[in-house]
Amino acid sequence: MDSLGALRRTHTCNELGPDHLDREVILMGWVLRRRDHGGVIFIDLRDRWGVTQVVFNPERNADVHAKAHRLRSEWVLAVRGTVCRRPADMENPKLKTGAIEVLVNELLILNVSETPPFPLDEDIEVSDNLRLQYRYLDLRRPEKAGNLIMRHQAVMAVRNYLSENNFLEIETPMLTRSTPEGARDYLVPSRVNPGKFYALPQSPQLFKQLLMMAGMDRYFQVVRCFRDEDLRADRQPEFTQIDMELSFVGEEDIIRIAEGMIQAVFKAAGNIELQPPFNHMTYDEAVQRFGTDRPDTRFGFELVDLTETLRGCGFKVFNSVIAGNGVVKAINAKGCATFSRKDLDNLADYAATFGARGMAWIKIREDGWQSPISKFFSADEIKAMGEALGVEPGDLILFGAGPAAVANQVLAELRLELARRLGLIKEGTYDFLWITDFPLVEYDQKEKRYSAVHHPFTAPNEDQLDLLATDPARVKSRAYDLVLNGNEIGGGSIRIHRRDVQEKVFAVLGIEPAEAQEKFGFLLRALELGAPPHGGIAFGVDRLMMILTGSDSIRDVIAFPKTQKATCPLTDAPAAVDRKQLTDLSLRPDW
């Protein structure tokens, strides 16, 4: 093994070309592949930037050639050599450096490597567990490294853009206090305060508001947030937000800043030109037309409400749903009358996973409507449904019936599934949509109380303050979400900056004055000491990068992600700790 010593590289493995012919260069990197012909040996040398072919020729230097025979995958090399044009017809168009090769005069073996536990040079699927256990190997693969590079470019664009717009990046505590509502907290026991706990922040929400009260005016932070909930492809227990807050602004100011930032990110990270302003849609319209507050509007299949059309109809299932204050909605799956019984059963099973009790359907044939349920409808009802849905022969009607929330979710998921099955979702399109006019609160049937749709600090619509006490469910909030291709990538609101309003909202949420004082006294006090009007927004960096990189999971854009059980196969976290560590924290284990 050789020492690096004073030797330094002159170029990366992605920058040599015909301009460098005959130059002596020094490259360093990993052995991606070796092709040993007994005589001449070719090594593809890889670093973060790319790949360069280096050549060992026994006629040029027999000692170096002999040494090169030992080389194996992922050994770490330094080579000194001469840039040569490749022989005619032997250029490799797949490599950026494919016009040249480096004829090696000196080889340093900086480190050896065992055979890697999985191949790094092919695009084959490797189990997630193994990849995470050897994450540092997985990240050597250009696709994975490229995701992290693009993430860096995106975050740099954010910092530059916001800095140019007079924002200050300010850090907020990671050790803070647990707050009611929201997700489960990660707790950290306090050694010097036995029996008391910090919580890791679910977001810097209150601190950024306090920074507005501190007169910082424009704050941002690229900040880690923690939520102890079950994981998904797009949810990790720790994730990164671009968090910002502004003073003396309304919704339109924040939306304009956010659009400019997203535009800068897409340009810097993906060389994609966006054209703000983005479209807007109210929450009510989104739910009515798409069944969700984060609609994917890249395709049709919109929901049609048939509740009034079918009130009193002959189909008992629908009738009882409607009588029980439920809704009957439907989508027209254009051209899907060709679906087999198996296809439909399959869709019904899928619908059932979202709480559907069944999935009624009607095929529109040239010779009439074909369905197990069409016989229950009158001619007038059939005519009205057909017109409402705009059906033509060859179409398929899918119904969702039940409580509004269930029917909406079922049909929202069905239209997504249909679009996927029919290949209607065009890759490379970026469909942004602002959702506005959210309800301030919604009634939680299980908890028998109202809970905040956004969070407890979101400002109610100013001319609906009177409704807070009488009919809070009708109050709209000053919140807004940014949806991209059906993914919620950001959300924010104008905040409450008056103590009396904040107290009223707490009251709606069932937070008693004593509890409000105990948990949020510091905020209420700050609201008494000159809190400016303010608002903000936060974006999920991981989800944004998942979409920009075309990844299926945010794990692919996080350097060291966790498994679905929130473990890290690389470090084996979480892990047991010494009993002494627990007793230091005044924790008395019962195991």
Partner RNA sequence: GGGGUCGUAGCUCAGCUGGUUAGAGCGCCGGCCUGUCACGCCGGAGGUCGCGAGUUCGAGUCUCGUCGGCCCCGCCA
Residues from 497 through 556 that contact RNA (CB under 7 A): 552-553, 555
Binding residues with RNA: total (CB under 7 A): 72
Give the β-pairing of 449-452 and 41-46: unpaired
- Angle value at C-alpha 486, between 485 and 490, nearest 5 degrees: 90
Q: Is 165 in the site for RNA (CB under 7 A)?
A: no
Contact 491, 481 (CB under 8 A): yes
Q: Is 355 in the site for RNA (CB under 7 A)?
A: yes
- Only one of the segments 112-120, 280-288, 308-316, 373-381 lies at the binding site for RNA (rule: CB under 7 A); that segment is 112-120
Closest separation between CB of residue 376 and RNA, Å? Answer: 29
Give the β-pairing of 168-169 and 197-199: unpaired
Element (DSSP H or E) covering residue 239: strand 238-247
| Among 20, 135, 227, 497, contact with RNA (rule: CB under 7 A) | 227
Structure-token match 């890889």, residue found:
46
- Only one of the segments 149-157, 161-169, 179-187, 362-370 lies at the binding site for RNA (rule: CB under 7 A); that segment is 179-187
| Among 147, 205, 263, 549, contact with RNA (rule: CB under 7 A) | 205
Task: Give every strand in the sheet of 279-282, ordered side by side.
Answer: 168-169, 218-226, 238-247, 534-540, 487-494, 479-484, 432-436, 279-282
Expressed in angstroms, the distance from the first to the final Cα of the chain is 49
Cα distance between residue 119 and residue 124, in whole Å? 8
Q: Is 87 in the site for RNA (CB under 7 A)?
A: yes
Closest separation between CB of residue 235 and RNA, Å? Answer: 5
Cα distance between residue 476 and residue 283, in whole Å? 10
- Only one of the segments 191-199, 348-356, 428-436, 467-475 lies at the binding site for RNA (rule: CB under 7 A); that segment is 348-356
| Among 20, 25, 29, 44, contact with RNA (rule: CB under 7 A) | 44
Question: Cα dist. 549→132, 149, 272, 531, 556 in Å?
Answer: 19, 11, 12, 40, 9
| Among 10, 12, 73, 461, contact with RNA (rule: CB under 7 A) | 73
Contacts to RNA from residues 562-581, by CB under 7 A:
563-565, 567, 569
Q: Is 95 in the site for RNA (CB under 7 A)?
A: yes
Sequence-distant (6+) residues with CB within 8 A of 436 are 251, 280, 281, 282, 283, 479, 480
Long-range contacts of 111-118 (CB under 8 A, 24+ apart): 111/1, 111/75, 111/76, 112/1, 112/72, 112/75, 112/76, 113/30, 113/72, 113/73, 113/74, 113/75, 113/76, 115/72, 115/73, 116/73, 116/74
Closest separation between CB of residue 131 and RNA, Å? Answer: 8
Contact map string, positions 462 to 491, toward RNA, x by CB under 7 A: ------------------------------
Q: Is 127 in the site for RNA (CB under 7 A)?
A: yes
| Among 7, 76, 110, 130, contact with RNA (rule: CB under 7 A) | 130
Question: Cα dist. 537→24, 153, 342, 425, 546 in Å?
Answer: 53, 21, 45, 28, 19
| Among 10, 23, 118, 145, contact with RNA (rule: CB under 7 A) | 118
| Among 63, 164, 171, 229, contact with RNA (rule: CB under 7 A) | 229
Q: Is 36 in the site for RNA (CB under 7 A)?
A: yes
- Only one of the segments 148-156, 201-209, 315-323, 414-422 lies at the binding site for RNA (rule: CB under 7 A); that segment is 201-209
Q: Is 181 in the site for RNA (CB under 7 A)?
A: yes
Q: Is 342 in the site for RNA (CB under 7 A)?
A: no
Measured from the CB atom, the residue of 264 and 359 that comes closer to RNA is 359
- Only one of the segments 135-143, 266-274, 352-360, 541-549 lies at the binding site for RNA (rule: CB under 7 A); that segment is 352-360
Q: Is 420 in the site for RNA (CB under 7 A)?
A: no
